Chains A and B, each alone.
Chain A
Amino acid sequence: MTQPKTRSCLPAALTSSLLLLLAATLARGAYASEDDQVFNRATQALQSERYSEAIELLEQLSDRGVVRVNASHNRALAYLLRAESPKRKPGDLGQASAALREELLLDPSHSAAENALGEVSREISRQRAQRGLDPVVVEPPLSYAFVNLLPENAWAWAALLGSLALSVGLVLRTRPSDSPARLAGQIATLAGAVCLSLFGAVTLLAQQQSINLRPAVVVVAEAALLDAQGARQSAKALGVDSNSIPEGAAVLVSASNGRLMEVSWGSFKAWVSSTDLRLLAQP
């Protein structure tokens, strides 16, 4: 009595599983095509000089978690076009800078974006100069700059090579003292230990940075430097020339408490209002 029942259950379960799979695939496809539709509408708006609408649509994509090189690229273009139109809004250049940096994060080979980013930075400095403000050029923290000389994986592979050299060297060191292999082992041990220590430490630092620091860009004319309670900090207290971060500046966000974000900018840390920043999407 039980056997026929089992036989009839199996095809039903298979069918329902297949249907579920099909539904999931279709839903995913529909969602993907919806993203494409929004992007196409944004592109049309951009070409029809309806920049605000294009920005709105591209921001919708961003809010939905769509991370694409071309979406960032067109968003940068839309903000730049609006910044140069009579409908420009404060922070448009900062938003363009953020979109270009995002594009470069997603695909570092985009030389046009790199070129445009340099021009946008110069334009922001020029506009600041027109307002009587000094162009503020602040280099990223030294450790961050060093770690970002190479991709995280490059440091990791270098550390692995160091580990391998050390292991081989340790094995060869046990050879008889008059053997050339022993000498090679000693050299490999020393070189491997140095490489492992150095590159391992940098790999660890890079990993910590990728986990704890989020790149962001200032998207207002001036992001005021605050303390953890939100009170404005004076430049004197921070030991810097300015008590604000200029538009378009790249910062690293290390913590947040809702409406405030702790950022590293140059050699110091401070809090700024989270609405003054745009966090960059990462692949």
Chain B
Amino acid sequence: MRAAALEACLLVAGVTLLASPAWAQVSIDLDVPATTVEVGQAFSVQMQALDSEGTPESPTLKAPPDFAVEGPSVGTNHQMSFVNGQITRRSGISATWRLAARRTGVFTIGPASVQTAKGRADSRAVNIKVVPQGSLPKRPQRGRGFPFDDDDFFGGLPGFGMRRRSLIDEMLGGQQEESEPQAPPEFALDQAPDSKGFVRAKAAPDSVVVGQQVLVDVFAYGSQGRFRENNPHEPRRSDFYSYTLVENSQQQPIYAVEIAGVRYYAVRVRRYALFPLKTGDLEVGPMQMSFYGSAYVTRTAPDGMVRQSPVLQIHVTEPPADGRPIGYQVGDVGDFSLRAEVSPRKLTQGESLSVTAFLEGSGNLPGHLLTPEQKGVTWLEPTIRGDAKEIREGVVGGSRSFTYVVKLDTSGDVDLGDLTLPYYDPASKSYKVARAGLGKVNVAARAASAAAAATGASAEQKRSLASLLSPAEELGPAPVASKPLPEHRFFWLALLGAPMSVIAAQTLRRAVRQVIARTQSKKDSLHRQYKDALAEAKTKTNAADVKAACGALERALYLGIEAHTKIRGRALVQSELILKLAQHGLSNEQCSALASLLAELDRLRFAPDAANPSELLERTKVALQALEKRRGNA
């Protein structure tokens, strides 16, 4: 009996021990209302997750791309159980998604998963068969709000039947007619860039210095009814350090805004505090999102009407160089105050103390402070805690602590100096210095042997790169900036001009010589020709060939005129020739004699019998001698 009782006790204990871990595990279940649905029919998928080590978070559902998915809407629940005298609490969430299929087929929905203390936990997956519209028998209409209500997801769209109002609209905001709160002034607009809906971004201020906060708001306006942001694409802002003050529009109030007589639903979808990292005209990229609502969903845009905001441009400059304090780092902009605590105030040489500085204010909190520099005091890198956050509406700031370890290798009352942070205050447009006085600490001298060892060590350290250089005591004169020779205007002229001018001079000289020689040779040629013609005339006269002699004399006469006067007589009529010869300085008698001789020779070529060639030869010689004499005189 005793043994049986012992066995029973052991069995109960074993069951209890086995039951406890089982209960401690995460339980997650996925539930669908039906395994067959129609195309476009909305249905709900619900996941229940329970965990004994904390509330599960971040529910997700894996759905095929052919399904439109909304949600999840998340609720929490708690369970308490009493097993074997032990109280066990479990926390859980219930996440509901709304799905609608876009085409027929068999699809796998899930698994759904949640984040637990031990990692992500998955549910089972379920298969859903999607059939064409009208394939399933009609079911009686049930009251609104029933979670598995069969709604026409694409209600009101051609081909998907008509509906008064889709469930999406109800999920988005209940009654459309309900009145929205009065919109703040930043929502007001004179004109709408798009009559259906648009996304607008606004930056203030749009001209800043590096490190100064710019507040960027992104608003969405839709005139076709309520909507929800879907598939958002965050604006590109890589040139800025960014704090997101509004992460999405879910918790933001929706306002009714009248723009040019049209009523829009408007909501703030994002708010960023941006701190420019560099100078220039920096861009904040467009924010793109889909307007999700029954009036915005079409067959071509099943995820809703897509719109994007215009690109914003922020003009960023450096703070002024005038009055910039020593140690100022570009980007330290805001309004800050600094205080510090030092502990301990009494220590021995070679020991370290702790300095904790607290920086508070508005702006992007700097990650550095200026530590005082002095002999025998070594500041190690600080441990930094605290980050900036939104401290009031649209303003980033906060507090940050810097904890330093300071090693003291000197003795006596040591004034630690001040911790400082030079910054630029855009409100007053001036530089300021946040300062925290550290006061004095009392450092007791250590034993002589230890000090000697330390001196030896420091002497060892002194053999360094820096010992290769000794500091210059004076600034010294400015280096003489001599212009390099090739940059002088006449360098290249002189360099190439000298040989080129020699070559040019030689070429010119050669050319002149050639011209002279050619002219001389031409002249020689005319003289030779007319002399040859005279000789021929003489030969022909001796041979009694009168006709040929007359021809030769005429040729000799014309060549002689050209050689002595450069007048080409053959190209002129007689009167012109006389005129030209007279202009050339021949007397009237000589001109007449030449003219009559030429006329006679011309005539005798056709009546040679009447000629006396010897007499003509003599007259020609006389005429040519007269020309030659005239040339000599000239």
**Residues in chain A within 8 A of chain B (CB atoms):** 35-36, 39-40, 43, 45-53, 56-57, 60, 63, 66-71, 73-74, 76-77, 80-81, 83-87, 96, 106-107, 112-113, 115-116, 119-120, 123, 152-153, 156-157, 159-160, 163-164, 166-167, 170-171, 174, 192, 196, 200, 203-204, 206-207, 210, 258-259, 283
Contact = CB atoms under 8 A, between A and B. Distances in A.
Contacts of B477: 68
26 contacts: A48-B374, A51-B373, A52-B370, A68-B478, A77-B466, A80-B464, A80-B465, A84-B464, A85-B378, A96-B465, A115-B468, A116-B469, A119-B465, A156-B484, A160-B491, A163-B495, A163-B496, A163-B498, A166-B499, A167-B499, A167-B501, A170-B502, A170-B503, A170-B506, A207-B484, A207-B487
Interface of B: 278, 280, 321, 326-327, 370-371, 373-375, 378-380, 461, 464-466, 468-482, 484-487, 491, 494-496, 498-499, 501-503, 506
A97 B353 CA distance: 35
Consensus secondary structure, chain A interface:
helix
A74 B472 contact: yes
B514 to A, nearest CB: 15
Contacts, number: 140
Contact of B481 (A45, A53, A283): A283
Q: Which 10 A-B pairs have the closest CB atoms?
A: A70-B472, A50-B373, A156-B485, A283-B479, A39-B475, A167-B498, A80-B466, A116-B468, A166-B499, A207-B486
B495 A159 contact: yes
Contact of B475 (A56, A71, A123, A152): A71
B162 to A, nearest CB: 53
A43 B499 contact: no
B332 to A, nearest CB: 14
B466 A157 contact: no
A197 to B, nearest CB: 11
Given A76-B469, A119-B468, A167-B499, 13 more contacts: A39-B475, A48-B375, A50-B373, A69-B472, A74-B472, A80-B464, A83-B465, A106-B479, A156-B486, A160-B494, A167-B501, A210-B484, A259-B278
Contacts of B321: 63
A206 B486 contact: yes
A53 B373 contact: yes
Contacts of B506: 170, 174
B373 A170 contact: no
Contacts of A120: 465
Contact of A70 (B280, B474, B502): B474
Contact of A87 (B373, B472, B494): B373
A52 B327 contact: yes
B239 to A, nearest CB: 10
Nearest to A117: B468
A69 B473 CA distance: 12
Interface centre among B327, B484, B487 (most CB of A within 10 A): B484
A52 B370 CA distance: 9
B380 A86 contact: yes
Contacts of B379: 86-87
Contact of A196 (B464, B470, B495): B495
A259 B495 CA distance: 40
B406 to A, nearest CB: 11
A204 B486 contact: yes
B527 to A, nearest CB: 32
Contacts of B471: 43, 46-47, 73-74, 77
Nearest to B472: A70
B472 to A, nearest CB: 4
A167 B502 contact: yes
Given A56-B326, A153-B484, A163-B494, A69 B469 contact: no
A170 B375 contact: no
A153 B487 CA distance: 10
A38 B363 CA distance: 31
Contact of A73 (B378, B469, B498): B469
Contacts of B475: 35-36, 39-40, 66, 68, 70-71
Contacts of B478: 67-68
Contacts of A115: 468
A200 B491 CA distance: 11
Contacts of A63: 321
B210 to A, nearest CB: 13
Contacts of B371: 87
Contacts of B474: 36, 39, 70
B326 A57 contact: yes
Contacts of B495: 159-160, 163, 196, 200, 203
Nearest to B500: A167
Nearest to B324: A60
Nearest to A115: B468
A152 B484 contact: yes
A282 B502 CA distance: 39
A77 B52 CA distance: 64
Contacts of A60: 326
Contacts of A84: 461, 464-466
Contacts of A196: 495, 499
B476 A69 contact: yes
Given A80-B465, A84-B461, A196-B495, A152 B485 contact: yes
Given A159-B495, A164-B498, A52 B373 contact: yes
Interface centre among B469, B477, B495, B502 (most CB of A within 10 A): B469
A76 B467 CA distance: 12
A283 B326 contact: no
Nearest to B474: A70
A113 B485 CA distance: 27
Nearest to B371: A87
Nearest to A77: B469
A167 B478 CA distance: 40
Nearest to A50: B373
Contacts of A167: 498-499, 501-502
A33 to B, nearest CB: 10
Contacts of B503: 170
A67 B454 CA distance: 40
